[in-house]
Structure 1
Amino acid sequence: MASSFPLTGADGSGAHGTTSARVVGQVPDDMQMIRAAATLTRDLNAARPAIYWTDLLASVAIGYGAFAGAVLAPSLALALLSGVIAVLALYRAGSFIHELTHLRPDAVPGFNAGWNAFVGIPLLIPSFMYEGVHNLHHQRTRYGTAKDPEYLPLALMKPWTVPLFVAVAALGPVGLIIRYGVLSPLSALIAPLRRIVVERYSGLVINPAFRRVMPEGRARRHWLVLEVLASAWAMSLIALVATGTIPMRAFLIGLAVASGTMVLNQIRTLVAHLWENEEQVMSVTAQYLDSVNVPPPGLLPELWAPVGLRYHALHHLLPGVPYHALPEAHRRLSRELGSSTYALANYRSLSGLIGRLVRSTFRTNSSR
């Protein structure tokens, strides 16, 4: 079927208060916007190591400190408060995995290894789970198709898929313990299982049809080192809990915190795009308009879409701009382009975006 999406802004109307719609495959590229994006942000492409390290280390310190507070809290209220802080801080720390896929290896020295040591291995989301996967989502002829690991036409699916999409994420931490603590060591001995583990359980993806290929050379060695470390940690964790060395209460709180970060990320993913394309190759502008910015003045997006993810549409336009420079890039483009195509990807709130998606699912299914 021909997919379409309304070119509407945050209030449900277009740039001039209209509610127009265009077929996705027919949206031409807005060359003025594309050229302006390139020329106005040329000085913003350099990553600033001090910002990356300070942000990551602060998030990690707050996150693990709050987790310890949740375990040791003398009251339920204090435990819950600490747990919420831990979820938000560790979610922010985990979100740097997105930056790792776009950073040049020498842009922030040691950051890949540091992130894996502080976040990737402890939370069982080593960076190879996203490296070599996320870049496929940015390929122009792959975006929004069955070959895109990070795309599902959720707006064109059944209404119940929206809550199911979020609920499944709650089981993520258990799945990762099984993947690294059980399947990974077994797959080293059983070749057919290894193929399944590599193809289906080695990427942070949402497209169930996606099958991963083991990389070669340096990327392969990087993968294997991280996988061995993650497996050693997962097996140790299982053993420590089984022997009572780690109390079951502390383990369950850890699972709850990790689950919270994954659910929050899944909710953010739910509104990262409009999800209204179905198997059509899209222009750069169409991809931009199928993506979402939630710019200031709202403050809450800094919690549920941290590390620049509140500028997701802009990121698709300028994937090389580091997260800390996206606010300035947005200000420049907003001043230059005003209420042009650029403004049509800006939305006000999480609730409005979720409501829009749910209405789209009902509208799509009522017309079939």
Structure 2
Amino acid sequence: MLRSAVDLTRDLAEARPGIYWPDMLVSAAIGYGSLALAILTQHIGVAIAAGVVAAIALYRALLFIHELTHIHKNALPGFRFAWNLLVGIPMLIPSLMYEGVHTLHHARTRYGTADDPEYLSLALMKPWSLPVFLLTAVLLPPALLFRFAILTPLGVLFPPLRRFVWERFSSLSINPQFRRRPPEGAFRRMVFWQELGASAWAITLLGSTYFLGWRPLLIIMAVQAFAAVLNQLRTLVAHLWENEGEAMTVTAQYLDSVNVPPPAFLAPVWAPVGLRYHALHHLLPSMPYHALGEAHRRLHAHLGGQSTYEQASYPGLFMLLGRLARNTMRKD
């Protein structure tokens, strides 16, 4: 299966700037425009509708952070800098929160183990763990604000605090046992500038309440919380979460991951930027998001509907949530 995936998709492996740049920029523009409307309007219905549009658009723009961890550093000149400047830092999720962390999830000897920062055996937990896991996303905006506006400046004065914050509050991980190693080399310099920018912006946001009141900041945080819940919902169905911590074969890792191919028409909303093909992404981690649909079609045609490849495909979000919930109930 892996050999077929590589052989059939060699011509799709190049990241296309003509797709990446417009997609990211238009998503960000729609998101910020809708967010401004939500803040400025006095009509509650318009504010809610604009806030929903802003959350969905900014969620899509934010998920380009996933692409930044996989594309070659020379593939899209300036894209990482522009994304951080326009999306990552304003949303207080600079790429340092994912780069150097997500690739550990793809390490073949780490996936699904205690050393995987992005894996929890959710299917083996208690039923109440799922709503708790989902609702903790609501706390992300105030947590990020506190991390960059308060803890980052204090970390300059107190190095032990900085080490603690880096180890535990500097990655988009779901494994509470994960401890991040100190940054090194060129990445360390990038972390410095990203933290400086995010800290300055977080302090500015807090300071704006003195002049503008709390309403704009609370709307911003509500939009970000909605986007975070969407991402947490996507995370719940990105894998089956059935591994108990032991190392897994490549095939087992693939089958523990999930594709939601067409005709699931809502998948591009809750799993944008190619993440509806999450199992395929684990086969071909460096494949650009815009090529995953064509790669899936080729593999489906070549391997057939009864192949191992097709066993990772599911019809939609609610079916996957139901399966996960039933598994937790069996463990209760």
TM-score bracket, shorter-length normalisation: over 0.9
Name the counterpart of 1:346. 313
Task: Please state if 1:296 is matched with 2:255.
Answer: no
Runs of at least 4 residues off by over 3 Å: none
Structure 2-normalised TM-score? 0.98
Greater C-alpha radius of gyration? 1
| DSSP 3-state at the match of 2:157 | coil
Name the counterpart of 2:302. 336
Cα deviations across residues 43-86 of structure 1 (Å, max 9, x unaligned)?
11100011000000000010000111111224211111111100
**CA separation in 2, counterparts of 1:214 and 1:233?**
24
Cα deviations across residues 177-221 of structure 1 (Å, max 9, x unaligned)?
000000010011112211110100000000000000112110100
Name the counterpart of 1:17. none
**CA separation in 1, counterparts of 2:230 and 2:318?**
13
Task: Please state if 1:66 is matched with 2:34.
Answer: yes
Task: Please state if 1:120 is matched with 2:82.
Answer: no
Cα deviations across residues 230-273 of structure 1 (Å, max 9, x unaligned)?
011111111121x1x23321111111001011110000001000
Structure 2 matches for 1:27-38, cutoff 5 A? 33-38=1-6
Cα deviations across residues 8-58 of structure 1 (Å, max 9, x unaligned)?
xxxxxxxxxxxxxxxxxxxxxxxxx11111100111110001100000000
Paired residue type of 1:56: M
Paired residue type of 1:359: R
**CA separation in 2, counterparts of 1:348 and 1:319?**
22
Name the counterpart of 1:30. none
Unaligned stretches of 5+ in structure 1?
1-32
Name the counterpart of 2:250. 284
**CA separation in 1, counterparts of 2:174 and 2:91?**
19
**CA separation in 1, counterparts of 2:272 and 2:168?**
28
**CA separation in 2, counterparts of 1:347 and 1:159?**
22
**CA separation in 2, counterparts of 1:176 and 1:320?**
29
**CA separation in 2, counterparts of 1:278 and 1:112?**
36
Structure 2 matches for 1:1-368, cutoff 5 A? 33-241=1-209, 243=210, 245-338=211-304, 339-365=306-332
Work out the number of aligned pairs and report it.
331
Paired residue type of 1:192: P
- Measured after TM superposition, the shift of residue 297 of structure 1 is 1.1
**CA separation in 1, counterparts of 2:237 and 2:2?**
23
**CA separation in 2, counterparts of 1:114 and 1:148?**
29
**CA separation in 2, counterparts of 1:251 and 1:198?**
26
What is the percentage of aligned positions where both structures have the same residue?
A: 60
**CA separation in 2, counterparts of 1:254 and 1:227?**
20
- Measured after TM superposition, the shift of residue 364 of structure 1 is 2.2
**CA separation in 1, counterparts of 2:184 and 2:39?**
42
| DSSP 3-state at the match of 2:212 | coil
Paired residue type of 1:322: P
**CA separation in 2, counterparts of 1:122 and 1:103?**
22
**CA separation in 2, counterparts of 1:249 and 1:239?**
13
Cα deviations across residues 106-159 of structure 1 (Å, max 9, x unaligned)?
101100000001111000000010000000000001000000000000000111
**CA separation in 2, counterparts of 1:234 and 1:222?**
18
Unaligned stretches of 5+ in structure 2?
none
**CA separation in 2, counterparts of 1:237 and 1:73?**
20
Q: Please provide the CA RMSD for this pair.
A: 0.8
| DSSP 3-state at the match of 1:188 | helix
Paired residue type of 1:250: P
Q: Which has the higher helix share?
A: 2
